[in-house]
Chain A
Amino acid sequence: MTKHTVSRRAFLMGSAALSGAGLVRAANIKTRSWPGNHNDVRCGIIGYGPQGREITATLARVPGAQVAAICDTYAPMLRRAQRDAPEATRHEDYREILDNPDIQAVIVATPTHLHRDMAINALQAGKNVYCEAPMASSIEDAKAIARAAQNATGQIFQVGQTYRSNPQHRSVFQFMRSGAIGRPAMARGQWHAKESWRRASPNADRVRELNWRLDPAVTTGLIGESALLQMDVAYWVLGELPTSVHGFGQIMAWNDGREVPDTVQAIFEFPSGLHMVFDATLASSFDDAYEAYYGSDSTIVFRDRGKAWMFKEVDALMLGWEVYARTDRFYKETGIALLANATQLDAQNVDPTEDDPNVETPLWYALQEFMDNHAFGPYPPAANWERGLEAAAIAITANQAIMERTQKDIDPASYTLD
């Protein structure tokens, strides 16, 4: 492993001080010695399924965060909580967390259709809220949450659209926006896995609750529950929101009485005329997940949680930095790796052609942004309620189009509060 002369933590604290706007903020940093400072943000986690656990594990390593309380309605999940976060108090009713004045931040990681009451009640209890994505399973719920967030001035509301906080995505975003692909032609994305989406429990009532993703009344389907983060990157880098979606859905692998398709295709139409095709399946894991943006000069592909490569057309201009860049072979194509901080790595004597050994997961960066907002904010996070509402509206409409196997216009009013 490459040895750094400057640790990442020291570097981040240093850069935070530089960008922290003024002496008051800088003084703040000194009080944030870490770990285990009494100024740590005390967080309550609501919902201890796989995502709640991932968030808890990640928060354990985010400076300034402390998981102080965990809520789940099912005893085995609370047993896991005890192992994962022994210091946290455990609750079956989330309102106990909201009533606790020592809890500053609440993370809502329950099934999507349960977000509404929890997020709104948490905001009304004065908590800062991190709400998992999709923000809601109906546009009405999404708007209700958005309105509560808009009214909660002085409080933080962040949605779990984690790629918005990921330095790697931000870096490639700038690159895309500077016109590196030339004239955009189309976009394509996929999310592929081989799994049934079924969840098991010895308790029959619990089985029904656990399998909410397969309940047509509340699910946002594969396009919402699995593909949302990737789709979110698409509107972000393209700089426009889709106006319509054409959906298809089939049950190809798991014909076990379910009504929710295990294989879907959606074609999104954007105002510029560009179309994006997205497919998702639970029937095949081939080629995993990626998004590709095709243009007249090059195609840029995102995959593996933010890695990106550029595939150039032969007639495109040679870029100055290209000769130094790392390339990877993909069958007959050669991709130029787009690394977030190549110059920064160079300054730290880390070979920019290697993978950065200090890189964190997108969830880590998103939670770090949430924590930093407690110290330096509140300011609107990259994934604020507006981004949450847009993504939810698109996912919900796309899922409807898929379920009805039809074309649906996306009402521009669904993207905003009146």
Chain B
Amino acid sequence: MSAGLWQQSWRRLRRNRPALAGASLLLLMIVLALLTPWIVPFGYEQQNLHLGATPPSPEHWLGTDVLGRDMLTRILYGGRLSLTVGFIATALALIIGVSYGAVAGYLGGVVDALMMRVVDILYALPIMIFIILLMVLFGRSLLLLFLAIGAVEWMTMARIVRAQVQSLRRQEFVEAAVAIGLPPGRIIAQHIIPNTLGPVIIYATLTIPSVMLLEAFLSFLGLGVQPPQSSWGLLISQGVETMEEYPWLLIYPGIALASTLLALNFLGDGLRDALDPKSAED
């Protein structure tokens, strides 16, 4: 027998240059984020009020902020947090959304109607109030922040997957799986979910950045990360306030976020193609 789906996918992915570049950049970001405490020369809360905001210099490569803190250090520490939020909350949204949507779409009928009305109702609730409620009830913690964001983002995923599954379950290969005698759980896992991967991956790569921005917004409201800790979103929103005087406070965190998003999009596109056996050119 020939190579499995994963090996073939990897081979296809390797031939896709933009996706490979995206993956490399993302990997670099993750490695930097992991190693940050050991490679930065300054502490993220280390202030130098005499210095104030300075443009990039040999000592402070990306300049300093109004409190004289090294921007490179703060961006690296911010990246740790933003990447963690992005990946954990998206993974959560992915797991809940895909399984919820797949079950609703596959079972159909009244079960589907009930499940999707629950989603509609949750959709209608203002996200902020929902998250603030969670924070108030359970206290403020980073873990809860991840959970809260994930708990909001899964709903769109569930809708996308459900629509996919609804058309898939009418296909003859799913009927053939029923005819073989496979139980519903196995049909969903083996025959349905793999065929929804394309849109799911694309949406996941779009969710990661939107999650990062949501975190920035929550932090801005004082519900997320608290100073002196930081995240890219928070750095950007602070940078906006002073962008006319000290543009580097906005530009560098902006570049960090934007390049991550770009890398994610390229990688997502590449993954979708690589996981689709039809795109094989060999």
Are A and B genuine complex partners? Answer: no
Chain A residues within 8 Å of B, Cβ to Cβ? none
Chain B residues within 8 Å of A, Cβ to Cβ? none
